[in-house]
Amino acid sequence: MRDGQEHQAGDDIAEAPPEPAPAPPAPPVPSAGWGHLIPDTVFAAAVAALPVGVIVQDGQGVVLANDAACDLLELSHAQLRNLSPPVSGWQLAHGDGHLLALENAPGTLAMTTGRVQEDAPVVLRTPDGRKRWLDITAVPLRRSDGQPHAAVSSLTDVTTIRAREAALRRSEEQFRLAMDHTPIGFALIDLDGRFVRVNRALCRLIGYHADDLRDRTLQDLAHPDDVAELAHQVRRMLRGERDSVELEKRYLRCGTETMWGLLSIALVRDDNGAPLYLIVQIQDITDSRRTHDLLTHLALHDPLTGLPNRTLVLDRIQKALDRGRRAGRNVAVLFCDLDNFKVVNDSMGHELGDAVLVEVSRRLTRALRSGDTAGRLGGDEFVVVCEDVGDEREAIIVAERMQTAVGAPATVAGRVVVPTMSIGIAVSASPDIDPLTLLRDADTAMYRAKDHGRDRWDIVDVALRRRAMDRMDIEHSLREGLESEQFLLHYQPIVDLRTNRVVGREALLRWQHPERGLLPPDQFLRVAEESGLIGEIGRWVLEQAAVTAAAAGGDSGYVAVNVSPHQVARPGLAEAVEQAMGRSGLPADRLVVELTESVMLSAAPAARRELERLDELGVRIVVDDFGTGFSALSYLRDLPVSGIKVDRSFTAGLGTDHQCERIVEALTGLGRGLAVDVVVEGVETDLQRALLSTIGCEHAQGYLFGRPVPEFG
């Protein structure tokens, strides 16, 4: 645009106005036909009113501009015609920001080159610093000789469109940046599962370069075990069952290393709802998954042996029962308890004890059939769960195999140990039995196995289950018995074999049960122990024995009171003894406390102090059932023991079993050597008595000298 004379709209413009149309046929070019319909003035008015800017220019400059053009260029008609010198601060620029000289403006170019300038992007900078984007199309106007001599330009304001496009570009760029920098793997996948676009994180996670992924599918990266599940989920989405899914799945890094990913897959649809592609996000959760697995493992396994713990064992029993239900097979639970483990632990040290447990767990595991489980419940209690068992005979075979496997001598930390175990067997009679009941039944059977001696098995039966129920009844009525004074003591004499004189009496507990009659201790003591009621019962025994003995007078000898492991394990024994003596007036030298060998072996420091306190009081401590425990005799030296009572199982063999004689002789000699009193229990025959005298045994107790009776003396 150049300086030029002013033209009015409708003025002579460069292109000659169309001739009035000749008579039909009309020329085929429509534009050529308008002139005869619309007078020039109307046409000019229409152009003037157009919302699109229109500028006509010739070699002299702008000759015609409508209002819209002025508005768009923010110039008045006069300014538009007199752009040289330009309005200060008013500039045109190319789309790329470079200044656009007026002689290169689209209209001028169209005029000078004779070529249409189509959609040229032009930026207008206004004096107040604003920018406006214009799309300008300029068409050359030619003279009749074909030479361009003018141009008409149309101007459209595309500022809003441009701004929108720029915003879109910016957000796309931001999105791309975010994609590339997010630690979450991201992929765009076509409906065949092929990668269309991936971000860096994804490449990092799966260990492939983006180029390597071009020919691969999502399924190619999945762990072989998860491919089917993944394909299934994708198919469900394509079928329209769901639009997104979240899965924790394994995938292969570099095609080999198994990793865990949290996959979020979302389906993107077009406007008509047809699936377009899938957006997949993968988050590496390998670490948290491993931690989770580790925690789960720790929560479900015994830390020492690595075997399943109680919780997992119960779960395995349940699963085995479920499978058994379908297959019509039984489940057997073997409750295994090591024999005398406590003694091993206490006498040889906990480290060695632990090593024995680990060895046992290994042996159990090795002897398992496939599909069976070995677990550890704690302490020396193990469990074997056998699936797919026909009847109890099969379970017994397994139990015996376990016993053989475990029972071989083992060298642990340089010491030879022969671990034996007692096993209780429970076979699911019905698949509806609950795991806990099965385990309890096996536990009960194990106790019965122990009762019959070590290294045995026993099997649960109806009677056994009844007995378990009875235990609960017993516990209940024990409390009642204590409240309504149903307990009493019987006294059995202990004699001096040389003089036949009674030196003392052992107080033996009896329970006058309202329905079941007079009960000996083996019918209720264990329940009393396990329920803790023995504490109260024990205190009553001490008081009662002391009162009775005190009343009987000094000539009737001492009274021996049995004290249970429970009483020793808790504080207060010495105090209870002191109180009993105080109240009854019984002198300390007339009171003996009987403790079993295992109690002595496992005596914790606090218990030792109680025993020392008893010794200080002048009360004698005697080891009961001597010879039946683990003969680690060190406690005889370490603890204040004044006597031992040789168990009656040895006495029973006197006269018939030569070995028993040897043992009794050895034990008597041992007592003599350690200067402790020896009492041999369970003497029933004259022969036994005679043999004991020959051996040189001083004191004895047994039916031969008197059964336990209510009277003291």
Stretch that binds Mg ion, among 209-217, 275-283, 340-348, 621-629 (CB under 5 A): 621-629
541 binds ligand C2E (CB under 6 A): yes
562 binds ligand C2E (CB under 6 A): yes
594 binds Mg ion (CB under 5 A): yes
**Contact status, residue 525 vs residue 564, Cβ threshold 8 Å:** yes
The smaller minimum CB distance to ligand C2E, of residues 185 and 708, is found at: 708
The smaller minimum CB distance to Mg ion, of residues 314 and 568, is found at: 568
629 binds ligand C2E (CB under 6 A): no
**Contact status, residue 509 vs residue 489, Cβ threshold 8 Å:** yes
Stretch that binds ligand C2E, among 165-173, 197-205, 303-311, 560-568 (CB under 6 A): 560-568
Stretch that binds ligand C2E, among 51-59, 165-173, 309-317, 679-687 (CB under 6 A): 679-687
**Contact status, residue 472 vs residue 524, Cβ threshold 8 Å:** no
Tell the smallest beta-carbon distance from residue 692 to ligand C2E (Å).
13
564 binds ligand C2E (CB under 6 A): yes
> Pick from Mg ion, ligand C2E, none: which does 668 bind, CB < 5 to 8 A by kind?
none
The smaller minimum CB distance to Mg ion, of residues 615 and 624, is found at: 624
Residues numbered 644-703 forming contacts with Mg ion, rule: CB under 5 A:
681
Rounded Cα distance, 92 and 74, in Å: 12
653 binds ligand C2E (CB under 6 A): no
703 binds ligand C2E (CB under 6 A): yes
C-alpha closest to that of 387 among 449, 334, 457, 447 = 334
The smaller minimum CB distance to ligand C2E, of residues 329 and 526, is found at: 526
Tell the smallest beta-carbon distance from residue 456 to Mg ion (Å).
22
Residue owning tokens 């060190």: 634
How would you class 683 by CB atoms within 10 Å of its CB: exposed for 0-12, middle for 13-18, buried for 19 or more?
buried
The two three-digit tokens of residue 240, written as one number: 């329209």
702 binds ligand C2E (CB under 6 A): yes
Stretch that binds Mg ion, among 102-110, 119-127, 206-214, 588-596 (CB under 5 A): 588-596
Tell the smallest beta-carbon distance from residue 490 to Mg ion (Å).
12
> Pick from ligand C2E, Mg ion, none: which does 703 bind, CB < 5 to 8 A by kind?
ligand C2E
In 328-432, alpha helices (H): 341-348, 350-367, 392-407
**Contact status, residue 508 vs residue 521, Cβ threshold 8 Å:** yes
- Residue 148 sits at φ, ψ, to 5 deg, of -70, 135
CA distances (Å), origin 224, targets 91, 251, 308, 506: 66, 8, 28, 74
The smaller minimum CB distance to ligand C2E, of residues 117 and 584, is found at: 584
Tell the smallest beta-carbon distance from residue 522 to ligand C2E (Å).
6
625 binds ligand C2E (CB under 6 A): yes
How would you class 340 by CB atoms within 10 Å of its CB: exposed for 0-12, middle for 13-18, buried for 19 or more?
middle
Q: What is the dihedral of CA 78, 82, 87, 93, to 10 degrees?
A: 110
> 181 by DSSP, 3-state: which?
helix
The percent helix, strand, coil of the chain (3-state, each to 5) is: 45, 25, 30
> Pick from Mg ion, ligand C2E, none: which does 424 bind, CB < 5 to 8 A by kind?
none
Rounded Cα distance, 56 and 62, in Å: 6
The smaller minimum CB distance to Mg ion, of residues 226 and 594, is found at: 594
**Contact status, residue 652 vs residue 660, Cβ threshold 8 Å:** yes
Q: How far apart are the first and last CA of the chain?
A: 144
The two three-digit tokens of residue 469, written as one number: 């129920």
Q: For residue 122, give the H/E element and its range.
A: strand 117-125
Tell the smallest beta-carbon distance from residue 560 to Mg ion (Å).
7
Geometric angle at alpha carbon 622, from 621 and 627, rounded to 5°: 145
Residues numbered 500-539 forming contacts with ligand C2E, rule: CB under 6 A:
508-509, 520-522, 525, 538
624 binds Mg ion (CB under 5 A): yes
The smaller minimum CB distance to ligand C2E, of residues 448 and 539, is found at: 539
Cβ partners under 8 Å of residue 200, min gap 6? 180, 181
Rounded Cα distance, 1 and 333, in Å: 103
Stretch that binds ligand C2E, among 50-58, 291-299, 451-459, 676-684 (CB under 6 A): 676-684
419 binds ligand C2E (CB under 6 A): no
594 binds ligand C2E (CB under 6 A): yes
625 binds Mg ion (CB under 5 A): yes
The smaller minimum CB distance to ligand C2E, of residues 261 and 538, is found at: 538
624 binds ligand C2E (CB under 6 A): yes
Residues numbered 545-574 forming contacts with Mg ion, rule: CB under 5 A:
562
The smaller minimum CB distance to ligand C2E, of residues 117 and 492, is found at: 492
> 109 by DSSP, 3-state: which?
helix
The smaller minimum CB distance to ligand C2E, of residues 111 and 478, is found at: 478
597 binds Mg ion (CB under 5 A): no
Strands (E), 216-274: 244-253, 257-269
Tell the smallest beta-carbon distance from residue 561 to ligand C2E (Å).
7
213 binds ligand C2E (CB under 6 A): no
C-alpha closest to that of 117 among 101, 138, 102, 103 = 138
Number of residues that bind ligand C2E (CB under 6 A): 24
Residues that bind Mg ion (CB under 5 A): 562, 594, 624-625, 681
Residues that bind ligand C2E (CB under 6 A): 492, 508-509, 520-522, 525, 538, 541, 562-564, 594, 624-625, 648, 681-684, 701-703, 708
